[in-house]
Amino acid sequence: MGVPASHLVLAALLLLPFVALPLVALAAGASRRAGGFATGFTMLGGLLLLAMIARPVFAGETLVVTLPWLSQWGLDLALRLDGLGLLFVILINGIGLLIVLYAYYYMPDDDRLGRFYLTLLAFAGGMLGVVLAENILLMLLFWEITSLTSFLLIAYKYREKEARIAARMALAITGGGGLALLAGLILLGQVAGSYMLTDILARGDLVRESALYPATLVLILLGAFTKSAQFPFQMWLPNAMAAPTPVSAYLHSATMVKAGVFLLARLYPALSGTDLWFVLVTSAGAITFVLGAYLALLKHDFKGLLAYSTISHLGLITMLLGLSTPLSPVAAVFHIINHAVFKASLFMAAGIIDHECGTRDMRRINGLMRYMPITATLGIVAAGAMAGVPFLNGFLSKEMFFAETVAHPALSGSAEFLLPGIATLGGILSAAYSARFVHDVFFNGEPADLPRIPHEPVRWMRLPVEVLVAIVLAVGLLPHLVVEPLLTVASVAVLQHPLPPFELAVWHGFNLPLLMSLVALGGGIIWYMRRERLFDLHERLSLQWSSPVAFERAYAGATAGARRAMRLMDSGTLRRSVLLYLGFTVLLAGWAWGGNPAAVAGPIATSLPDGTALFGVAVLLVALAGVLAFHRQRLLAIIYLSVVGLVVSLAFIRLSAPDLALTQLSVEVASIILLLLALRFLPQEGPIEEPKSRQLRDAAVAGGLGLGVSALALAMLTRPFETISAYHIANSKPLGGGTNVVNVTLVDYRGFDTLGEIAVLAMAALGIQALLHGLVLKPQVADARTLADRYPIMLRMLMRPLLPLALAVAVYIFLRGHNLPGGGFIAGLVAAIAIVLQYVSAGAAFAAPRLRLPFVGLLAGGLLIATATGAGSWLFGQPFLTSSYTYVTLPLVGTFELATAMLFDFGIFLVVLGTLLMVLTGLGQLGSREQPGAGES
């Protein structure tokens, strides 16, 4: 076939984590170690799959796979692998692999880790989806998967309140951003005319010139900024440190928070290059960069320090993407790589220290160089990279960053120094908090009353840190060899055009960026040495607005507000809800109508009513007035209601619908019996308990609705229309085998619907039986037993011979139903009423043992027959219930066709019969069950 192997590999790369989930669950159930191996091999497998298809990508190709899915909504399963995706797959799977190994040793031994590995893997799958999606709606789907799974990961220690709050906060912020992103991406797709990245990236000018561009950009930035914790959405990230350290190391170095900057980089050719982009992205990035670095220094918890440092570095990357100089995206991609590597190693080193010391407070942890020299050395190197010390990877990208702020042309004059100034200030602060991390943790005297004496961790726990620090050094020393191919291909993917020349080198000669680096490092150390005064200041002006307490308060307030709004709408009383709903419908319809009388009557002229119609409506009016006036005198109301039903039946005849008239008439009889039976147990008269005002208010709503429906009916009747039933009428006899088109429609054209309808009927009957079960009610009327003519002899004598007659009529109606008015529904109703009348005339004690009908059996039998008839068509290789259509085209089976439809109709007959008997006899015997002598009950 025409599917290249690389396409299959790409799909497999994305599917692998999801497919592996059940296997990991099984393995983790077997043992902790097996679960770890299964997860690790899944991550490794992803890298191997990537290696199989990496070569063409490095050569500059973009792999795109498209599987049609919901194409009419622009949603296809389309995947793409280009340089940027390649880079992120390496980060996701590569660092993921190290995290799996690390977590195995970090997490407490009594944790079986099944939940951890499953959530981690699902999260990794979500991340892979985000970076591999070609369709932006598909990307959003995976984006939401990462939001949900990161919620589960942050709340991993869900017994701790802190973790629950942190997780909720992260979900509220990133989930809210996800909603904005959904809107933004839909706008983007509309503006660009396609939801495929290939098209969108090529149509940047179209997007930027659109009137919707500002809205699109702001919505998408909301998504990116919430995810990447950019100002003012940064507060969820430090709180997310409540997660276990492996989770933090994964989410806050290479994956979750990088999704936001990934999005900015991904859509860079479509969205960047405008002033709006520059202002929004650069300023958000710059504020985040400086604010994060400033706050990082103030944290005594070293994980908190790393968290704010992460915010700061994300700000740096965002700022680079905002600058939009020819090389700034390259620097951004470079810093994405470098930050992922050194920050993951720092988090893991911090986790080791936490694990060994039992605390994360830098005022107590000091001088660890003596206790764990190897870990300390690794930590120092990684922190050096974070500060931007030469010969380490962070130095290179930071220097590129400095160079780009200098090179940016937008600001001139006195503002010329603004961007470099911000960059240098951020650099100073970064160096200061890095210095604090190194000095406080590894030097600065002796540890202060630690819970235990720290020592080096087990070999395998340190291995992930060693690997990452080795990369830090390798990139820092030999950038040209180690990272340049990957950086180039990823940057080309971001820019979508060849890169301007640039040189990755440690030494560029003396220039302004180098000077800025030196100022940053030196200034940082000075700043750090002066920190005590800063701490005092911070204690006094403590910023509480980003605390989880404040968030919780806002959260509780929003919840209470929502509850109040809900109570306003739904006070818990059904009538109020119904009134609100109906009243709103009237208002809405009135608004849509707009008071234009011409909108009601259509072009077709109305005709004058004939005498029959006028008489019918007059009777209807009287009967309705009776129902309304006497709705409290319930027996009278039932009698008036039956008159209304009769008029409706007659109207059906007048409107050439004899089937409906027959059905309505028999249902009418059954309904009246039903209501009379129920009335025995209800108060005979309803009390007057409502103020007139409420009755009038309800009358206004009811009148409005009635008028609206009248207008609707009139509008419908006075407009031309073309029926689709010409086909049904024409084919009724030749294909359906019957001339009664209504019946043929029920059992043939729309047989599947009918099957569903009789199933609903059977369910209602069963539900009624369940409701009646164990129900004890006291009859509200004098028991008929006390009266002399309990079962009037005339009625009794008349009904017994009438039963076979009535049943014969039912059979007749059933048999002729396919060609003349009748059929299973009506026959079932007639037969049921004939049988129920035996109960009415002679009592259940007489009728039940003589008839011995299994009601549930009737229901089940009817449904089975109808279903089997439908399934029978499978034997002829036809779809369910679409039988007769094709049968007739074969010779000799024309008669057979008739038989299947009739069998289906027989199923309907049985279900209707069973339902009516079950309901009416069930209600009828309700009183007699606990009689006599049941006393109070």
Show contacts with another protein in window 795-834 (CB under 8 A).
819-821, 825, 829
Position 866 contacts another protein (CB under 8 A): no
Give residues 571-630 in contact with another protein (rule: CB under 8 A): 571-576, 578-579, 582, 606-610, 613-614, 616-617, 620-621, 624, 627-628
Output the CA–CA distances (angstroms, integers) from residue 530 to 372, 437, 534, in the order listed.
28, 15, 7
Provide φ and ψ at 602, rounded to 5°.
-90, -170
Q: Distance between CA atoms of 842 and 789, rounded to whole angstroms?
A: 11
Position 68 contacts another protein (CB under 8 A): no
Q: Which is nearer to another protein, 707 or 805 (CB)?
A: 707
Position 56 contacts another protein (CB under 8 A): no
Position 503 contacts another protein (CB under 8 A): no
Q: Distance between CA atoms of 801 and 57, rounded to whole angstroms?
A: 89
Q: Distance between CA atoms of 69 and 249, rounded to whole angstroms?
A: 36
Q: Which is nearer to another protein, 462 or 634 (CB)?
A: 634
Give residues 638-677 in contact with another protein (rule: CB under 8 A): 641, 644-645, 648, 651-652, 655-660, 663-664, 667, 670-671, 674-675
Position 144 contacts another protein (CB under 8 A): no
Position 70 contacts another protein (CB under 8 A): no
- Minimum CB–partner distance for residue 93 and another protein (Å): 56
Position 703 contacts another protein (CB under 8 A): yes
Position 921 contacts another protein (CB under 8 A): no
Q: Distance between CA atoms of 230 and 382, rounded to whole angstroms?
A: 23
- Minimum CB–partner distance for residue 895 and another protein (Å): 18
Which 3-state string (H, E, C) describes 305-335?
HHHHHHHHHHHHHHHHHHHCCCCHHHHHHHH
Position 711 contacts another protein (CB under 8 A): yes
Q: Which is nearer to another protein, 88 or 652 (CB)?
A: 652
Report long-range pairs for 61-66 (Cβ below 8 Å, ≥24 apart): 62/198, 62/493, 63/6, 63/7, 63/10, 64/134, 64/198, 65/7, 65/10, 65/11, 65/134, 66/134
Number of residues counted as binding another protein (CB under 8 A): 116
Residues 6+ apart with CB under 8 A from 135: 74, 75, 76, 77, 78, 195, 196, 197
Provide φ and ψ at 76, rounded to 5°.
-115, 155
Q: Which is nearer to another protein, 108 or 687 (CB)?
A: 687
What's the gap between Cα 528 and its chain centre?
47
Q: Write the DSSP string, 38-93.
A: HHHHHHHHHHHHHHHHHHHHHTT--EEEEEEEEGGGTEEEEEEE-HHHHHHHHHHH
Give residues 533-572 in contact with another protein (rule: CB under 8 A): 571-572
Q: Of the candidates 226, 359, 745, 841, which one interacts with another protein according to CB under 8 A?
A: 745
Give residues 315-334 in contact with another protein (rule: CB under 8 A): none
Q: Distance between CA atoms of 182 and 189, rounded to whole angstroms?
A: 11
Q: Of the candidates 81, 365, 765, 881, which one interacts with another protein according to CB under 8 A?
A: 765
Instruction: Build a one-symbol-per-residue string for 465-484: x at contacts with another protein by CB under 8 A, - elsewhere.
Output: --------------------
Strands 63-70 and 75-81, sheet pairing:
antiparallel
Q: Distance between CA atoms of 580 and 366, rounded to whole angstroms?
A: 67
Position 884 contacts another protein (CB under 8 A): no
Residue spans of alpha helices (H) in 324-366: 328-357
Q: Burial code of 231-270, b = ≥16 C-beta within 10 A, e = fewer?
A: bebbbbbbbbbbbbbbbbbbbbbbbbbbbbbbbbbbbbbb
- Minimum CB–partner distance for residue 824 and another protein (Å): 10
- Minimum CB–partner distance for residue 7 and another protein (Å): 47
Q: Of the candidates 107, 336, 475, 742, which one interacts with another protein according to CB under 8 A?
A: 742
Q: Which is nearer to another protein, 591 or 721 (CB)?
A: 721
- Minimum CB–partner distance for residue 682 and another protein (Å): 5
Q: Of the candidates 194, 718, 882, 925, which one interacts with another protein according to CB under 8 A?
A: 718
- Minimum CB–partner distance for residue 897 and another protein (Å): 16
Q: Which stretch binds another protein (CB under 8 A): 200-208, 255-263, 368-376, 705-713?
A: 705-713
Q: Which is nearer to another protein, 262 or 909 (CB)?
A: 909
Give, in degrees to the nearest 5, the angle at Cα 476 between 475 and 481.
Answer: 40
- Minimum CB–partner distance for residue 606 and another protein (Å): 4
Confirm if 113 and 35 have CB atoms less than 8 A apart: yes
Position 634 contacts another protein (CB under 8 A): yes
Q: Which is nearer to another protein, 15 or 579 (CB)?
A: 579
Which two three-digit tokens encode residue 691?
A: 């103020």
- Minimum CB–partner distance for residue 750 and another protein (Å): 6
What's the gap between Cα 443 and its chain centre?
50
Q: Which is nearer to another protein, 559 or 606 (CB)?
A: 606
- Minimum CB–partner distance for residue 310 and another protein (Å): 53
Q: Distance between CA atoms of 168 and 174, rounded to whole angstroms?
A: 10
Amino acid present at 321: L
Residue position matching structure tokens 């020592």:
455
Q: Which is nearer to another protein, 508 or 778 (CB)?
A: 778
Q: Which stretch binds another protein (CB under 8 A): 157-165, 193-201, 696-704, 848-856?
A: 696-704
Q: Of the candidates 193, 683, 857, 879, which one interacts with another protein according to CB under 8 A?
A: 683
- Minimum CB–partner distance for residue 724 and another protein (Å): 7
Nearest to 825 by CA among 854, 870, 862: 862
Q: Of the candidates 639, 643, 679, 860, which one interacts with another protein according to CB under 8 A?
A: 679
Q: Of the candidates 746, 847, 881, 902, which one interacts with another protein according to CB under 8 A?
A: 746
Q: Distance between CA atoms of 357 and 411, rounded to whole angstroms?
A: 49
Q: Which is nearer to another protein, 559 or 577 (CB)?
A: 577
Position 753 contacts another protein (CB under 8 A): yes
Give residues 224-253 in contact with another protein (rule: CB under 8 A): none
- Minimum CB–partner distance for residue 218 and another protein (Å): 43
Q: Distance between CA atoms of 429 and 286, rounded to whole angstroms?
A: 13
Confirm if 226 and 288 have CB atoms less than 8 A apart: no
Instruction: Build a one-symbol-per-residue string for 386-425: x at contacts with another protein by CB under 8 A, - elsewhere.
Output: ----------------------------------------
Give residues 720-739 in contact with another protein (rule: CB under 8 A): 721, 723-725, 728-730, 732-733, 739
Output the CA–CA distances (angstroms, integers) from residue 69 to 73, 627, 839, in the order listed.
9, 55, 58
Give residues 277-316 in contact with another protein (rule: CB under 8 A): none
Q: Which is nearer to another protein, 558 or 712 (CB)?
A: 712
Q: Which is nearer to another protein, 707 or 797 (CB)?
A: 707
Confirm if 310 and 299 have CB atoms less than 8 A apart: no
Q: Which is nearer to another protein, 446 or 570 (CB)?
A: 570
